[in-house]
Structure 1
């Protein structure tokens, strides 16, 4: 883990109100902590798998952007901030996203109601938002 990137991320997000949202690229930049996402998986596919799959999703023409929602900003000195939810903004369907994310075994994927979308994501959005959740 890149501790300096972890510390900068925490310092940047700490003053922001919850839920704290970060781009998926920033969430994975310097992050090799298996406990930071998908920690409920019996056989965690590794941070490389999470990073690569979300990078492919983010590059899709039907995806505008991808965000991680931080559930616990500072879970401990040697831990990266923890995310249990990822938001995918775009026009892809729930089935297409489920297929792309199958190796990561998310617990749920759903189209969010406008009222459930964090304000940082709601701003300027003209497509739907899918949420991905790991228990």
Structure 2
């Protein structure tokens, strides 16, 4: 799936160093075949592993209060390396702190309610009313 992940990032316009819009991808595209703990949550002292990230984030996406969950791509180093993410977007009708409570096993930072770098991603994320955007991040 790594080749498909890189192809989707390129299809969206690639990664430009974080100064502008970023690519976003589905949970499946980011996590299928991902065994690289440095790809997300890399600074966690007790890293749960990419499979646990996928498990928890998929369970969040499956909640009735959640419309979608997207992985923001923060860095792409090379075609043989898994891209890096330090945040995900959750489209939901609940508060940021409720979303963060669902993600406790992943130890996210304080949740946000805006795009990671203040700019919408390259791939449009639909936020149907009355939903809101919640950003979960890892330092």
- Band the TM-score falls in, shorter-chain normalisation: 0.7 to 0.9
**Cα distance in 2 for residues equivalent to 1:95 and 1:66:** 16
In the superposition, the TM-score normalised over structure 1's length comes to 0.84
**Cα distance in 2 for residues equivalent to 1:68 and 1:52:** 14
Q: Going by fraction, where is helix more abundant, 1 or 2?
A: 1
**Cα distance in 1 for residues equivalent to 2:24 and 2:92:** 17
Counterpart selection for 1:23 from 21, 26, 29: 26
- Detail structure 1 runs of 4+ shifted over 4 Å in the superposition: none
Give how far 1:14 is off: 1.8
The alignment covers a number of residue pairs equal to 129
**Cα distance in 1 for residues equivalent to 2:55 and 2:29:** 13
Counterpart selection for 2:133 from 125, 129, 135: 129
**Cα distance in 2 for residues equivalent to 1:124 and 1:88:** 10
Change (3 A) 1:90 1:24: same
Do 1:86 and 1:131's aligned partners in 2 also have CA atoms closer than 8 Å? yes
Give the superposed CA RMSD. 2.0
Counterpart selection for 2:89 from 79, 87, 90: 87
Q: Going by fraction, where is strand more abundant, 1 or 2?
A: 1
Show the 5 A alignment for 1:1-135.
5-17=1-13, 18-75=21-78, 77=80, 79-112=81-114, 116-118=119-121, 120-123=123-126, 125-126=128-129, 127-135=131-139
Question: Alpha-carbon deviations, 1:77-109, whole Å to 9, x = none?
Answer: 3x3111111000011222211111111111231
**Cα distance in 1 for residues equivalent to 2:54 and 2:125:** 24
